[in-house]
Amino acid sequence: MENQGKKAVVALSGGLDSSVAALLLKQQGYEVIGLTGRMVDTPAADIVVQNAKAVAESLDIEHHVFDASEIFKQKVIDYFENTYRSGKTPNPCIMCNKFIKWGLLLDFAVETLGADVYATGHYANIVNENGIFKLFPAADEHKDQLYFLCRLTQKQLSKTLFPLSKFTKSEVREIAAKYNLPTKSSKESQDICFIQKPMTSKKYLIEKFGIKRGDFIDILTDKKWGEHEGCYQYTIGQRKGIGIAAPYPLYVIKIDAQKNIVYVGREEDNYKTNLKINEFNLVDTTFETSSKEFDALVKIRYNMHAKKAHVKLFDNFADITFYDPVNSVTSGQAGVIYDLIDGHLIGGGVVVD
């Protein structure tokens, strides 16, 4: 086998995708090692570690647990809380990928465990084109995980494998069932791993920040529509849960965290054409030498269809002009740029409205 003698360290979460990724690499001849990051010190984290150990035992592979809780607290949990406190909407999974999965865990895999490659259960496809590693969509069109990988670098991609790139989620489930993996019946992991049900993000934030009464103000007329209990409980474009009786639906249009004001308006007030993406990370470095102005596809949140826009690229930010206005431009979310022709990831950063 061509991979005989090569060591693959798999970020083993104890879930379906990473366990099948480990199985596939073992079948390809790699010496596979499981590596589980312990993100928080809770009973839920104990279960993650136990599930990962069960997978490693079923595959008969070495398994390590890495305590990432201190950095996870700084780079993910504190970031999550501080972003909401400032009236913006965070994306903790992207920060976890940047600082933990492709930070602490990748470094440990390579430097301590001697990994030739580092693998995860993400749905994405890495293609080496003349020494530049490009991220393309995976076979499962319902799984655009490029969005969450927009902070990765060429150095990180050069060490990374995505064994699930050619599979759909249903095919991955079939593989797990065929080989009787402990995760064969596991459900999708939840969005925010450090907030366990029945706790919700809103309840978590209320416990953290308490009730802070402020005003709902009309974005156009300055009319006061009512009062809220903390601007951090709202996000741009939100319609449900505002609790105002009005003759037409009201949407959250803008949040002023310093004054604790939530500005509301009609649906048409929620559309914009221009925005900026700060802290821009260029994944496809061929764009360093190519045109700094081009048309591309852009997403400003995970669950939207990418829209055509004109992009002006600068050293660490990008100016975006959409051809058709987009709704709910939300500061703090990831703005991600994809190639107009083949859909591969160009780069991403943080939306500023």
Catalytic residues: 96, 193
Do the Cβ atoms of 10 and 119 come closer than 8 Å? yes
HSE (side-chain half, CA atoms, 13 Å) at 316: 1
Q: Which amino acid is at 192?
A: I
Q: Which amino acid is at 213?
A: R
What CA–CA distance (Å, rounded) separates 90 from 308? 24
